[in-house]
Structure 1
Amino acid sequence: MSNLDIVPRDAHDPGYTSLAYKADGSEFVSVGSDSTIRIFKTSPEERYGDPIEINYISGNLETVVANKDHFAASGEKGQVILGDAKTNKILKPLFRSTVPVRCLAFNVSGTKLAVATDENAIRMVLLTDISRTVNIRGHTKGVKCIIFDPRGTLLLSLGCEGDLRVWDISPETSEPKCIKHYPGAVKPTHEDDTMNGILAWSLDGSYFAAPGKDCDVIIYERTTWKQKGVLSGAHVEPVTCLTWSKVGDCIATSSADCQIIIWDVSTLKVITKYTVSMEPSCLEWSPTKNELSLADKYGQVLTVDNAGTVNPNIRGPPKKNDDDGAGYTEHNAEKEMVQKKLEPLRKRPEAPRAPRVDFTPHPIVHPGETPFHKTSGNKDNVPEVGDRRYLAFDMFGVIYTIFHGAYSIVNVEFHDLTDHKNFHFRDFDHHHIAALGRKGAAFGSKSRKDEKEDDDDEEDNDEEKRVPSTVHYRPLDKGANRLEWTVPLPDGEEIETVAINDFSVIATTTAGFVRIFSLSGTQTHLFHLKQVVSSVASADMLMLMHSPNQSANNIHHIEYRLMNTDTFETIQVGSLPLNSKKKLTWAGFSENLQPAVCDSAGVVFILHQPRRLGQALWVPVFDGPATAVRRERTERYWPIGLLKEELMCLILRGKNMFPYFPRPQVNSAELMMPTTQLDTETGRLEEKFLRTKIIATHEKEEIILDGGDENAIKKMDLEMDKTLLQLIQLACKAEKHDRVLDLSSALSSARSIDAAIKIASHFNLSRLAEHITRIKESKFMDDSMFDGFSMQAHHGTQSFSTKRSSRDVDDDMHSSSSQAFHKRTRPM
């Protein structure tokens, strides 16, 4: 394999980019996320010159096609425009869709344009009379890709459901009809996963190629509609682009593994491989020579001369019939030659395989979950009767399940039994995920075979009856208006994560949906978010963590979205603090409703200023390995919650990676930021002040949102001032006068500054004491403010991204989780 060492051309802004050659191969047209159409020369002498630019419509452009007379483009806004290929001018709007357009295709005569959208119908528009549009229906979901055959009588289409269809569109048929259906030929995809170049016809239309299910490409014969060959063994990710050479029997493919593979169709073997820095989003062969151009998701375009090592014979276009130009004459000699080439009669040494790239996605993380205790190392992960696992383990309580074959026993236990009693129930759905909150417990189960179906019913044997995946809620306090409920998900949709807060049950699914239910079971919101890896909730807050980009070699990019499930406002978005080859292992909210995460290195972070949009930062407050060293122990810390000064956790020793049964004791570990000079008294005091300040800033904002509590804010400021005064004393002792002044300026009250003056005087630093006095005079001009902190100073300047909805104040002050650990805490 060789790296594709070609200088790319910056064509568009980063995002999905597509291109199409004009009929003579002298230029290609590209579109991208910047709403601009650009036309590039293809000759080596001119290809790096400035392109022609056409700005026409807003929104991301995702697809473009061209022929000798026209080009057409469209995208997420759904408007299809038609341009003149000779003058490079826009001619007219051709079609308007209410949903994004994913693919376009001209017929061979250039008289019609097929349009594929997120709807399950294909539109075929007559260019000379756009009012004459034919709808082609048959797909059950949005149409991903369409392409006409070179003879002008067939249309291939691929839907998001994974079905491949062949349509007869010959002039003899009164209306298009499906003549061949390949159900489930390709893995289902989402409408947003734009892949509009994944079908291809051979030059004479005798064969077509489409992706398979196993990172391969299937070649089908036109006359029999059967598979005639498979291109496999090179890609490690599903094929997302493929194109059949116009001048020879070569197919080029690419996928998310960043490989471009050139295949010899006659031998079904790899000719050569290239690697690129970013996943290609489009591949196109030149219509006149052995030249391959590609576009990638950086918005770049590249052109490869003499692609691969094959030296095909350049053929002219097939001769046309004496009809209206809609078809081509089939030459028997040429057909026999192609059929012969498809038989792998001669062997060619296979090109060396590409270095394997691990694209394993980030695992789903359910905080507090463990595998089954006895069968965690079992290859099939089939539990034994009596085996058990934790489904949830947090500050409020524990949920664990015991497997009994046909059913399981789910146990819900609380750390504090003052308000709630432990309970258990028989679970025939085998819930595999759960979340525990102050108001109730939420569960999720996978779909499964319906064991109650009559095995003797031979009529139903061909279609296995399945029980759908479900979301289940059980309130902790049952009453007239607090009943448990179960909601089944649509067929084929599986629940992946579940979370619960004081207002909502939140489920994310394999369909890419976030489904939010009220505690009564009403679905109150639904939106799409790809690849959610974890979800946690507390009070009225929800944090969703998702992986928008491909993971490679254990390097993961995880983003978070913080929102309010009562008002459905988005409060903050950003990236998780995962360094190279680190994974998310835990997520939750602290006692004061501050988002927190832990990575696989044992470092816990809190989100500083989460309500200030665009200002939030992840701050490390706990380092597990460093804590173990300080304690002179070999142990790991399994988080279950975060208090103001401590991480609540289970301590794991030896080879244990998960907590054991019976339920272990909950321990605590002191928080400490990884600041510098922690081995000195000054360093430790600086760490304490910085951490207290960060946490207090968040607490003040939360207190103000809840109506204001002057005494609570005074207490926080007093704690910080105590630490600052200790630092001032050490600085005076070391005669670091500038440091003393900096620390004195950070004091929050006149009384604390008076204490700093006394400290300076004690060390006979009278001049320094005078400077501190001036700080007091400039900071507190009004004597009435000397006694303490003024609430107006806080209320006058605060500006938050969103306000929290009304919450039960009594519940806030008397959280069961707080009582269990003898802390005055916020609900977890």
Structure 2
Amino acid sequence: MAVRLRGRPAHAPGPTFLAYTPNGKKLITVGSNGAFRIFQHGSDGEPAVIDVLSDSHTCVAATNDFFVVGAEDGSVTKYSLLTNSMDDILVRSSLPVRDLALSPDGEWVAVASDELDVKVVNTRDMTRIMHLREQSKPAKHVSFDIGGSLLTVSCSDGIIYVYSISSEQPLLVKRIEGLIKSLETDAEASAKVTWHPDGRAFLAPTATRDLQCVSKSDWQRQKAFTGGHQADVSTAAWSPNGTVLATADVNKGLCLWDTRTQRLLKTFDDINNNILSLDWHPTENILSYTNNNGELFIREDFVPSEHAKVLRVTLQPAPINGRPLTEVNGNARKGPLPGYKINGFQRDVEDDYLDQLLPDADSEVGADFIEDDDGAGYAEEINPFGKRSAGALNGMSTKRHQPSMPWQPRPHGTFQPGSTPWKGNRRYLCLNLVGFVWTVSQETHHTVTVEFYDRQEHRDFHFTDPYKYDKACLNGKGTLFSCRPSAQSQQKAMLFYRPHETWTTRTEWRTQLPAGEEVTSMSLSDSYVVATTSAGYVRTYSLFGVPLKVYRQKSTPAVTCASWRDYVMTVGNGPVGGDGATRLLYTIENVRRDEVCQSDDILPLPEGVELRNICFSDKGDPCIYDTSGVLLTLLHWRTPGQAKWVPLLDTRTLDRLADGKKDENYWPVAVANDRFHCIILKGGERDPYFPRPLLSEFEFRIPVSALSTDLAEDDENRDLGHAQKLEEQFVRATLRHSLQLHLVENTNATRAQKAEVPLLEREVDKVLLQLLAGECREGEERGMKALEIVTMMRDRTGQMLEAAGKVAARFQRDILGEKINELAERRLVGLVDDNV
């Protein structure tokens, strides 16, 4: 397939730069004019535009949720990809910013400017800044390594500085001289370090217009890419799996290299302007680049078809000397030259990459593939010349090991229920049906405001917060806060509880956590304060600050927690599933009785779905809400080993979304009064912002079946839709009855709680009567199902069975009426079990 070149005028003529988000869904471009453009991958539509006051933007870096832009006015600004608006100005320099680099986790951004020092700023807390000051000249480029613990600074004097930033005190690890060229900070030529995806080496342009690899283990020069450019290199990028390299120069050159052999695969002669920034799409054969004329090019099928199969293999090793992962160690031969043959089949460099993959069933070359899975040595390696290797003759296996990316599990991140991330200088710390807590960053301190919906019962309050609280819980008795430890002020993590009312002079209390430990999540009930910490502890306090329990959580690291009266529910990361993500485990404990109701049971989240919120309903039943928009509650949770999660609502099936025109998300707030209380977010928003949005509520609707959306088309569809609604009401009423009965049987229930059980039984029977009427209306052939519905009735006084007999008589279902009368007589004499 021929390469299809797509040029887009992204910005005014001038230097233009780009960055893909890690998931590849969006492409951001910045340039010399006062606008940013956000292109949706795979869409030919117009990009989203963010108009800004500044211009002459010099660099951009992106995560999936936000991007950061540097400009010649010295500003480094963070913009949200969720709202397409500015979040915050992270830092200002007195001189122009030249380059940015985001750490792999998005927590830190490194800033190179015409100032002598390099700033490393926290993207969530701009007051946390590290300064790198070993350079004697301004820095031109900065680059994080794959692990995020090292930062390389390419200085304008031709020296590369390597810093360790694994702690808050940066440490200069290595000074590399004589590798890169001395350049002016505003030159189009590049001296940027580009780390290979396997993390073992980096690439840097040299003064001789080559590209040199340097090993991370000893900082020695390794293999080089030579002879491809006739001018200084302007930018370079590895493919996501490291198999190929794309480079450009300041003389309109663009080259594609093979990583393993350092062979030039192709040069492109259709470049009209100097390329300043290029980036690979994370998953597809697409290379995008911008130039010095304000243009964006998205080149599909960039790697030619004869070489494109190398993009489908796993992560490949960096081109360093010694013992690369794809070569046989010892005295075995190096890889043969391209074009050699094995058993008459032509081989190419790309075929060597594919050797690591299992051959297809219809592959002639791999038809005789034997796997030496027990290590017996019978699967000897045959070289291209038809000979066994020396190792095989000595009884030694010389099988090639498959190179792969270092595997790491993907744990679920921690979160505080009811809180939102920073947007601009403010965020919600807590938002529920009692009220809401929000904070505003004032750089040196925060200001916290607590507001209530019922101002007749509680008064709003506001205070200056020097501790910079980052979590809060609010209920009818008090407000709980926590803050993170601070290395600058020697402050330890702290819990602060403020009751709403007291009859003593001492109204509040604080307690500090041990050094190095911080609160990851916390909850507040009418009886206890509970906090999970970074040390894996669950700490429980009384409402007056008395420490009651400290124990190590089994499932770590902790994710979140919730509490209601004496019950505490904690969630943590458990074993790793087949998709590489951890399975979440929950534990429910009665603190007062020191009893565990459920111990490390699995949260039933589908693959790719994450936990969004946990809470207890107003009646005290655990509930969870996930990123797929499903609300679930826990049935039989007070009985060990009997708990099961039951869906209460799937927001994707709401009637308001039936026309497919609304793009909405639902931010969970609470579960109360048999309703799901939430905030409706539109336009791709994920979290609420100011001014405070209104709360909405949706009635539970258990996803029993796909409800008919065209109920008025004819009588048949109308009856079908009515029956589906009744079936859902029956399942929902049965669930409510089961929850209430479980409460009464397992707790010291009040008289009102006990009286509610027969009322809920009656609700179930009423729905069954309506279902019975629908079956009788259909005809005598539905009689067996109608009788089954009657047997499900829970009333033991005979009133409901008598009503069922009247329904059958009304529709002249005589045989069914006789069966119902027989059932009523048998129940009266106790011959039928309650669950028949």
TM-score (normalizing by structure 2)? 0.50
| Pair 1:707 & 2:749 matched | yes
Counterpart AA for 1:643: A
State the one-letter code of the partner of 1:746: M
Which residue of structure 2 aligns with residue 441 of structure 1?
Answer: 479
User: Aligned residues, how many?
Assistant: 459
Name the residue aligned to 1:572: 598
Is 1:737 equivalent to 2:737 in the alignment?
no
**C-alpha separation in 2, matches of 1:303 and 1:488:** 56
Task: Please tell me whether the aligned partners of residues 535 and 543 of structure 1 are also in contact (alpha carbons under 8 angstroms).
Answer: yes
Q: What is the Cα deviation at residue 668 of structure 1?
A: 0.5
Residues 231 and 503 (structure 1), Cα distance of their counterparts in 2 relative to 1, 3 Å cut: farther
Task: Name the CA distance, whole Å, in 1 between partners of 2:474 and 2:468.
Answer: 17
Letter in 2 for 1:517: Y
Counterparts of 1:621 and 1:430, CA distance in 2? 37
Taking structure 1 as reference, are residues 186 and 392 closer, same or farther at Cα in structure 2, changes over 3 Å only? closer
CA contact (8 A) 1:357 1:552 kept: no
Distance 1:260 1:313, change over 3 A: farther
Q: CA deviation at 1:565?
A: 2.1
Query: 2-side partners of 1:388 and 1:266: how far apart?
Result: 51
Corresponding position: 1:362 with 2:412: yes
Give the aligned partner of residue 724 of structure 2.
683
Deviation at 1:482, TM superposition (A): 6.6
**Measured at CA, do residues 264 and 407 of structure 1 come closer, stay the same or move farther in structure 2, by a change above 3 Å?**
closer
Secondary structure in 1 aligned to 2:575? coil
- Code of the residue aligned with 1:748 in structure 2: it is R
Distance 1:497 1:215, change over 3 A: farther
| Larger displacement relative to structure 2 (363-372 or 301-310) | 301-310
> 1:752–1:445: structure 2 CA closer, same or farther, 3 Å change rule?
same
- Determine if the alignment matches structure 1 residue 747 to structure 2 residue 797: no
User: 1:599 offset after TM fit, Å?
Assistant: 1.0
Matching residue's letter, 2:814: S
2:703 to 658, 674, 681: 674
State the distance in 2 between where 1:622 and 1:570 align. 28
User: C-alpha separation between the residues in 2 aligned to 1:549 and 1:509?
Assistant: 20
State how far apart, in whole Å, the 2-side matches of 1:691 and 1:605 are.
Answer: 12
Tell me which of 573, 576, 585 is aligned to 1:559.
585
Counterparts in 2 of 1:754 and 1:491: CA distance versus 1, 3 Å: same
Which amino acid is the alignment partner of residue 727 of structure 1? L
Q: Please state how far the C-alpha of 1:729 moved relative to its aligned partner.
A: 0.6
Residue pair 1:413, 1:422 contacting (<8 A) in 2 also: yes
Task: Report the CA distance shift for 1:398/1:781 in structure 2 as closer, same or farther (over 3 A).
Answer: farther
CA distance in 1, matches of 2:825, 2:574: 53
Alignment partner for residue 591 of structure 1, among 593, 613, 618?
618
Would you say 1:409 and 2:453 are equivalent positions?
A: no
> 1:723-765: per-residue Cα shift (whole Å, max 9, x none)?
1111111011113111221111122222111111110110111
Deviation at 1:634, TM superposition (A): 3.3
How far the C-alpha of 1:665 sits from its partner, in A, is: 1.1
The one-letter amino acid paired with 1:371 is P
Structure 1 residues 596, 616: CA separation in 2 closer, same or farther (over 3 Å shift)? same
Q: 1 CA distance for matches of 2:577 and 2:374? A: 24
- What is the CA-CA distance between 1:566 and the residue it aligns to? 1.9
Cα distance between partner residues in 1 of 2:401 and 2:573: 34
Letter in 2 for 1:596: C
CA distance, structure 1, for counterparts of residue 828 and residue 472 of structure 2 = 53
Identical-residue share of aligned pairs (%): 26
Which residue of structure 1 aligns with residue 186 of structure 2? none
Select the residue among 532, 537, 558 that pairs with 2:563.
Answer: 537
Say whether the 8 Å CA contact 2:736–2:760 is kept in structure 1: no
Matched, 1:758 2:811: no
Q: Which residue in the other structure is 1:600 paired with?
A: 627
> Do the aligned partners of 1:588 and 1:595 also contact (CA within 8 Å) in 2?
yes
Distance between the aligned counterparts of 2:776 and 2:817, measured in 1?
10
Question: Are residues 484 and 215 of structure 1, via their aligned partners in 2, closer, same or farther at CA, if it must alter by over 3 Å?
Answer: farther
Deviation at 1:360, TM superposition (A): 3.9
Measure, in 1, the Cα distance between the counterparts of 2:682 and 2:730: 32
Q: Check conservation: 1:408, 1:426, Cα contact below 8 A.
A: yes
**1:262/1:272 contact within 8 Å kept:** no
CA distance in 1, matches of 2:221, 2:592: 50
Between the aligned partners of 1:304 and 1:264, the Cα distance in structure 2 is 32
Query: Is contact 1:603–1:623 with CA below 8 Å preserved after alignment?
Result: yes
**Equivalent position of 1:616 in the other structure:** 643
Q: Give, in whole Å, the separation in 2 of the partners of 1:307 and 1:519.
A: 70
Q: Deviations over 1:382-424 (max 9, x none)?
A: xxxxx21011111222111111122111112222223222222
Pairs within 5 Å for 1:250-261: none
Q: For residues 748 and 617 of structure 1, what CA distance do their matches in structure 2 show?
A: 23
Match of 1:494 in 2: 518
Q: Which residue of 1 aligns with 2:674?
A: 645
Match of 2:761 in 1: 717
Distance 2:391 2:321 in 1: 12
Matches of 1:232 and 1:776 in 2, distance apart? 91
Aligned mates of 2:315, 2:390 — CA distance in 1: 18
Q: Is the 8 A contact 1:362 1:551 kept in 2?
A: no
Letter of the 1:629 counterpart: L
Matched residue of 2:574: which SS?
Answer: coil
User: Does the Cα contact within 8 Å between 1:264 and 1:271 map onto a contact in 2?
Assistant: no
Q: Which amino acid aligns with 2:828?
A: F
User: Aligned Cα RMSD in Å?
Assistant: 4.1
Over 3 Å counting, the alpha-carbon distance change for 1:397 and 1:273 in structure 2 is farther
Is the contact made by 2:410 and 2:582 (CA closer than 8 Å) also made in structure 1?
no
Contact 1:725 1:756 (C-alpha < 8 Å) held by counterparts: yes
Structure 2 vs 1, CA of residues 479 and 268 (structure 1 numbering), >3 Å: closer, same or farther? farther
Q: Which amino acid aligns with 1:693?
A: T
Deviation at 1:514, TM superposition (A): 0.9
Native 8 Å contact 1:686 1:727 kept in 2: yes
Cα–Cα, structure 1 residues 429 and 665, in superposed 2: closer, same or farther, change >3 Å?
same
For 2:326 and 2:812, locate their aligned partners in 1 and report how far apart those are by CA, in whole Å. Answer: 85
Partner of 2:187: none
Kindly tell me: are residues 775 and 424 of structure 1, through their superposed partners in 2, closer, same or farther at Cα, counting changes over 3 Å?
Answer: farther
Aligned partner of 2:463 in structure 1 is 425
The one-character-per-residue Cα deviations of 1:265-307 (angstroms, maximum 9, x if unpaired) are 9936546699xxxxxxxxxxxxxxxxxxxxxxxxxx9758699
Distance 2:665 2:317 in 1: 49
1:450 is displaced (CA, Å) by 4.1
Q: Is the 8 A contact 2:611 2:624 kept in 1?
A: yes
The question of whether the paired residues in 1 share the 8 Å contact of 2:429 and 2:439 is answered with yes
Equivalent-residue separation in structure 1 for 2:328 and 2:529 (angstroms): 48
Measured against aligned partners, the alpha-carbon deviations of 1:224-277 in whole angstroms (never above 9, x if no partner) come to: xxx9859999xx9xxxxxxxxxxxxxxxxxxxxxx9999999936546699xxx
Partner Cα separation in structure 2 for residue 545 and residue 439 of structure 1: 25
Is this contact kept in 2: 1:625–1:636, CA < 8 A? no
Q: 2:435 & 2:422 partners in 1: Cα distance?
A: 19
Question: Conserved in 2, the CA contact under 8 Å of 1:556 and 1:583?
Answer: no
Q: CA deviation at 1:782?
A: 8.1
Task: Give the deviation of 1:714 after TM superposition.
Answer: 2.0
CA distance in 2, matches of 1:486, 1:185: 33
Unmatched 5+ stretches in structure 2: 1-163, 168-197, 202-215, 223-239, 241-313, 330-372, 384-388, 395-399, 709-720
The answer (yes or no) to whether the contact 2:497–2:510 under 8 Å persists in 1 is yes
Say which SS state the counterpart of residue 722 (structure 1) adopts: helix
Q: How far, CA to CA, are the matches of 1:481 and 1:781 in structure 2?
A: 66
SS at match of 1:739: helix
Task: State the AA in 2 paired with 1:707.
Answer: A
Contact persistence 1:732–1:760 (CA under 8 A): yes
Aligned position for 1:338: none
Deviation at 1:675, TM superposition (A): 0.9
Q: Is the 8 A contact 1:556 1:578 kept in 2?
A: no
Deviations 1:780-818 (A, max 9, x none): 3489xxxxxxxxx99xxxxxxxxxxxxxxxxxxxxxxxx
After superposition, the C-alpha distances for 1:572-604 in whole angstroms (9 at most, x for unaligned) are 131112101000011111121111111111111
Aligned twin of 1:463: none
